[in-house]
Structure 1
Amino acid sequence: MSMTTPTDDAAIDAIVTTLRGAKRVLVTGHVNPDGDAIGSSRALALALRSLGIAADTSWGGDPAIADSSPKELSPTWVRFGGQETVVTYPKAEDYDVVVTCDTASFKRNGTLMPLLEAVPTVVVIDHHNTNDFYGDLHYIDPDQSSACGVVVRVIDALGVDLTPEMAELLLLGLTTDTGRFSYGRSPIYDHQFAARLIEAGANPDVINQVVFMSNPAAFLELTGLMLSRATLNDGIVISWVSQEDVQRIGIALDESEKILDHLRAIDEVCVAIVTREDAPGLWRTSFRGRIGMNVARIAQYFGGGGHTLAAGCTVRAKDYEDAIAQIYAAIEAVGISND
């Protein structure tokens, strides 16, 4: 893969030319995709399809836990549109262009890495300032709060009018990556962008209900367990959950991340951390910070990444005590204040 780094209009023009000349495009998000990865990739695929360009979406499995294929999406994400574009096992020979959305490093493509190495052209569209420029063409805007805020410029440059379905997918990414506008990077633009999407037909009530206000009854038990395990030291609160816990309770492991909102809401907390056992020896860890913090530093210490106030990584540890000890050691090593 070559290394070109044009910015803004030049980058968009090059990407649009490439997409318009493509026979078939695969648009992907990172492993364990969140609302921004799903929203940005699916919206772009739908925009390309509206132009008559064959476009699919997919995401990689996580090789760290021996995934050979993508995990099924949680019920939360499946409820949003664009599912007709999803291909579970994409093959390199079927595509001449792959576009990665919201994927800051080559490794975050997971089991799709060999596919990216085999296709003629890789386009990277992202908003992380930690992006390692692994593609052939790049449009990366670290000032945007979401990848959806970057993708929409490509959609506009393609000359596509937003449909209600595209708008709702883009609003999904914007809403989730800003924590309902609580830690975005561009507050004025974010709200203007949201207003545009609502005018185009997105329904914020649906997103709030499905993503933030829809939980199974088992979530009560999970919440009680994780709050009882939470420890607060010097402004840092940590809780954890194991595979055994979620299997006993009967709930998806990803539901545990929602506890972060409860932990971060405590006045004495400046950083909230949840670590959960994704597989034996692997603890997927999420960080949320208040203004003035930089939790991306901790995530990067473990090879992860994210944003100043919201980030994640995987910690290799024998048990939760080891994982928590490593996290505290990382905080001691790199600090958490945004100085």
Structure 2
Amino acid sequence: MKRKSKRKMSNINDICTVLKKYNSFALFTHVNADGDAIGSVLALGSSLILKGKKVLFNVPEPVPLKFDFLKGYDLINKNLDTLNQMEVGILLDAAGTNRIEDLEKNLELFNITINIDHHISNGHFATYNLVDGNAPSTTVLILRILEKCGFPINEDIANDLFTGLLTDTGSFHYANTNKFAFDSASKMLDYGAKPDFVSDMIFERETVGHLKMLGIALSRLIIENGIVYSFITLKDFEETGAVGEDTERIIDVLRRTGETKIALLFKETRKSEVRVSLRGKKGINVSEIAEHFGGGGHRAAAGCTIKSTVEKSIKRLIEYIKENYENGK
């Protein structure tokens, strides 16, 4: 089916009108789904289900196991063969269509699409676009939508929402931890969110694979005038038995050194393909760096994928940073 014309921006009332009018929805989020992606999908989808709507949850594999404590996790990627029967496609926490597998093909299934996101680099690619770069997480926007629409928010949904906020603010110490973040967190607690439970489930269940990969990354750590970086190869995965999810949050350890201004972790995902995670401190906008290499994200946290070897990828990015950011200063 042919999609309707795109709009540049929409307000929450527009979104509520669509959510109330239609009865079936397919929810999508980006590859390498994080807490904000999973939390947004489950929170919105669960509330829609409570309103009697039919919902499909489409999350690119592999779905992170660390979020299996959230109610509705077992519904992810079920019955996707009925995707073409859904009326509305909703894209959550994705700055662009390139971050969602087969999105262009899947979008053609829907007359109506909704894009809800907080990335400043968002391309406003849907029929309705609710994008707020000042929001600390996409789940904060979902909270606003559910409240405005008068849709249910129970304890399970509150935990979904808090998961996104907790992870995207780095446990409330990243630069995006603004008043909006604390006001939203307070509301989530009022709805029943359990911060101690969510934190324990996310941060206190590390795998042996994660610890081995962290050790490897730290052993290769290089620090050059405020630029801190390391790398992980396919061979490392083979030798340790670790999986992609085991490398999550390693970049957040690399950024902790006092002299860090820009931190990078180069992760070989397949032959001649390297996923780069970037973190910025002291006012450095790493989303600009990621965008230069075809990626995107936030000022303090971004990522991109380079079609090259680990060695060449490191050379390209480090040289670019030194040339354009005065050695990270």
Smaller-chain TM-score range?
A: over 0.9
Which residue number corresponds to residue 228 of structure 1?
219
The one of 314, 318, 322 aligned to 1:324: 314
CA contact (8 A) 2:67 2:73 kept: no
Q: Higher mean Cα deviation, 39-48 or 329-338?
A: 329-338
> Could you tell me which residue of structure 1 aligns to residue 173 of structure 2?
182
C-alpha spacing 1:314/1:6, structure 2 compared with 1 (3 Å): closer
Report the Cα distance in structure 2 between the residues aligned to 1:46 and 1:74, rounded to whole angstroms.
19
Query: Among residues 73, 93, 118, which one is paired with 1:102 in the alignment?
Result: 93
The letter of the residue matching 2:66 is T
* Alpha-carbon spacing, 1:166–1:316, altered in 2? closer, same or farther (3 Å): same
Runs of 4+ in 1 over 6 A off after TM superposition: 336-339
Conserved? CA contact 2:36–2:168, under 8 Å: yes
For residues 164-175 of structure 1, the aligned pairs below 5 Å read: 164-175=155-166
Partner Cα distance (1:336, 1:109) in 2: 34
| 1:57/1:86 contact within 8 Å kept | yes
Q: Distance in 1 between matches of 2:72 and 2:245?
A: 21
Partner of 2:53: 53
Question: In the aligned structure 2, how far is the partner of 1:30 from the partner of 1:57?
Answer: 12
Q: Structure 1 pair 294/101, CA: closer, same or farther in 2 (3 Å)?
A: same
Provide the rounded CA distance (Å) in 2 between the counterparts of 1:38 and 1:266: 29
SS in 2 for 1:331: helix
**What is the match of residue 207 of structure 1?**
198
Report Cα offsets for 1:299-322 as digits up to 9, x if no partner.
11111111000011111112x211
Once the two structures are TM-superposed, the CA of residue 257 in structure 1 deviates from its matched residue by 3.1
The match for 1:192 is: 183
Q: Distance in 2 between matches of 1:81 and 1:337?
A: 45
**SS of match in other structure, 1:314:** strand
Q: Using the alignment, how far apart are the partners of 1:183 and 1:336 within structure 2?
A: 23
For 2:325, the equivalent position in structure 1 comes to 335
| Aligned equivalents of 2:148, 2:328: Cα separation in 1 | 35
The partner residue of 1:262 within 240, 250, 253 is 253
Give the match's secondary structure for 1:73.
Answer: coil
Displacement, 1:142?
1.1
> Cα distance, 1:334 vs. partner?
4.5
> Offset at 1:332?
3.8
Q: Which amino acid aligns with 1:51?
A: K
1:120 partner amino acid = N
Moved more, 29-38 or 211-220: 211-220
Kept in 1: contact 2:50–2:152 (CA 8 A): no
Q: Secondary structure at the match of 1:122?
A: strand
- In 1: Cα distance, 2:42 partner to 2:81 partner: 15
Go from structure 1 to structure 2 and tell me whether the alpha carbon gap of 1:338 and 1:235 turns closer, same or farther (over 3 Å shift): closer
Is 1:162 the counterpart of 2:153? The answer is: yes
Amino acid at match of 2:34: D
Determine the C-alpha separation between the residues in 1 that align with 2:165 and 2:326: 25
Contact 2:263/2:279 (CA < 8 Å) preserved in 1?
yes
- 2-side partners of 1:214 and 1:309: how far apart? 25
How has the CA–CA distance of structure 1 residues 115 and 87 changed in structure 2, closer, same or farther, with 3 Å as cutoff? same
In the other structure, the counterpart of 2:66 is: 76
**Does the 8 Å CA contact 1:92/1:119 hold for their aligned counterparts?**
no
Q: How does 1:6-155 map to 2 (within 5 A)?
A: 6-7=9-10, 11-59=11-59, 70-88=60-78, 89-155=80-146
Once the 2 structures are TM-superposed, how far is the Cα of residue 262 of structure 1 from its aligned partner? 2.0
- Conservation of the 8 A alpha-carbon contact between 1:16 and 1:154: yes
Unaligned runs of 5+ in 1: 60-69
The alpha-carbon distance between structure 1 residues 233 and 281, as it changes in their structure 2 partners (threshold 3 A), is same
Query: Does the C-alpha gap of structure 1 residues 116 and 250 become closer, same or farther in structure 2, counting only changes over 3 Å?
Result: same
* Amino acid corresponding to residue 13 of structure 1 in structure 2: N
Q: Aligned letter for 2:17? A: T
- CA gap of 1:85–1:122, structure 2 versus 1, over 3 A, is same
How far, CA to CA, are the matches of 1:103 and 1:338 in structure 2?
28
Instruction: Calculate the aligned-residue CA RMSD, in Å.
Output: 2.0
- Contact conserved, 1:97 with 1:119, CA < 8 A, in 2? yes
Counterpart in the other structure of 1:237: 228
- SS across alignment from 1:317: coil
Corresponding residue for residue 66 of structure 1: none
